[in-house]
Chain A
């Protein structure tokens, strides 16, 4: 066995550049040599725990600023009242998102509250973000996420759908706000689906624990256990007493998660299939599926036949084009469609 090749594979694995064939090669090697797996585990643990940077002493900024302001007085340029580009950068840096995104994303990110960072996805676009606390967020299509991380709290505002893998930090509670629904995470992995146009808001827990409460019932929290889901009707959010929130179990094809496992995305679960680039749906009518397809493929769907809207489908799509997806649906039900590029007519 070529030791250098193993070093190459491990390096790619650590830096996140290992491709599919490399993964298979590494997996095959580890099967032959289980002791290398332990080695890799240690290196991964080391790689993922870099030293925390020390904040500069208070006087350092002031000293620099004194020089900067002195230099400016000689220049004396007119002051234009508008948000400076670097204020966005500052806001982004506070949320620690600069590393994950190009600066441009922030510039075009739009209006954000002071000190908060905002990221939005279009129809058909999905993104993964790493927050400065180490938490990972998968943002589904057509969603908006605003975050504010500081020394005492981690607060997220969500419109749309996101999957969270929260880095444990007992001193800084991690709270997701969606409309009037609040989800308080306790070191965990969970999915929140809260599109403004949807009738139901759903929170699904994969690992750890979360507490769910509405603005009206901050003292009446409902705690979910792994593989439980809570669904709330959006139009009832404002008046619903928390006691009425209904908890449902979700069914996974995968073996039940073992305690102590790293948060793993369960791709067999409908609620989180999108994180693994899979669109999965269960007994939804064509009209609802149309909304899912619009988000997924970034297209517009128009129905010209009311009967067709009531067809019910179950299934999943991964790499299919929208045409292939619709052709697959045609195997089940009788309908026609016309693909006009950005718009699809179904009749």
Chain B
């Protein structure tokens, strides 16, 4: 029993941060996100005696969180993607950064990602940070793989725009990671 809980703790600690972040991307508050992710794990624990293993475990977890988020929104009568992109999150076109410090550039690009639509941002993070394939992201979010691709291309376009604004000094070497 102790051993069971120890394994379960490892599983929880491994997935919890990413799942909470994902839930928050689906536009719910941190408090609600944490509660909702904990509920998913409580359900997992209850089902642990089930004989059949869950296939595609990670996709299963994210889908479970997504469903609960949508239910949460439905209960609150406001389930919708906010389609407007926060254009003002990026500074004016003519603002140019002189610095080429990698950490700063990274933060600058993070801001560009933040400025994407919530759907675009979520898709970008699921592919880049969680390593999901287009098809998996489409399954999790209940959208078409084509939409996933379109949103990612939009993210690339936004990132390149941010790079141009950053200073244009691409011929200089970039410090290592």
Contact = CB atoms under 8 A, between A and B. Distances in A.
B170 A38 contact: yes
Given A38-B171, A61-B9, A93-B10, A4 B153 contact: yes
Contacts of B48: 84-86
B45 A72 contact: yes
A68 B152 contact: no
Interface of A: 3-4, 7-8, 10-11, 14-15, 17, 35, 38-39, 41-43, 45-47, 49-51, 53-56, 60-61, 63-65, 67-68, 71-72, 75, 77, 79-80, 84-91, 93-94, 96, 98-100, 102-104, 106-107, 114-115, 130
A192 B153 CA distance: 39
Interface string B22-44: 00000000000010001001101
B103 to A, nearest CB: 10
Most chain B beta carbons < 10 A, residue from A10, A39, A53, A107: A53
Given A45-B177, A75-B46, A104-B53, A53 B10 contact: no
Interface residues of B, number: 59
Most chain B beta carbons < 10 A, residue from A11, A77, A103: A11
Interface in B45-101: 45-46, 48-58, 60
Contact of A7 (B49, B127, B156): B156
B54 A103 contact: yes
Given A42-B105, A84-B49, A64 B54 contact: no
Interface of B: 3-5, 7-18, 21, 34, 38, 41-42, 44-46, 48-58, 60, 102, 105-106, 109, 127-131, 134, 149, 152-157, 159-160, 163, 170-171, 174, 177
Most chain B beta carbons < 10 A, residue from A55, A98, A100: A98
Contacts of A3: 157
B8 A86 contact: yes
Contacts of A94: 10, 14
B130 A67 contact: no
A130 B58 CA distance: 15
A231 B53 CA distance: 42
Contacts of B18: 53
A38 B173 CA distance: 9
Contacts of B8: 65, 86, 90
A63 B41 CA distance: 11
A85 B53 contact: yes
Contact of B57 (A67, A71, A96, A98): A98
B130 to A, nearest CB: 7
Nearest to A77: B49
A85 B54 contact: yes
10 contacts: A45-B102, A61-B12, A64-B12, A68-B42, A68-B45, A98-B57, A100-B131, A103-B58, A107-B53, A130-B131
Given A43-B163, A56-B13, A86-B11, A63 B38 contact: yes
A64 B41 contact: yes
Contacts of B53: 85, 88-89, 103-104, 106-107
Contacts of B58: 98-99, 103
A147 to B, nearest CB: 15
Contacts of B156: 7, 10-11, 14, 43
Given A41-B174, A64-B41, A93-B10, 4 more contacts: A50-B128, A68-B41, A86-B48, A107-B53
Contacts of B34: 60
A79 B34 CA distance: 29
B129 A65 contact: no
Contacts of A79: 49
Nearest to A130: B131
Nearest to B50: A85
A320 B107 CA distance: 48
Contacts of A100: 131
Contacts of A50: 128-129
Contacts of B106: 46, 49
B13 A17 contact: no
Given A39-B170, A53-B18, A10 B160 contact: yes
Contacts of B13: 55-56, 61
B15 to A, nearest CB: 7
Contacts of A11: 149, 152-153, 155-156
B152 A55 contact: no
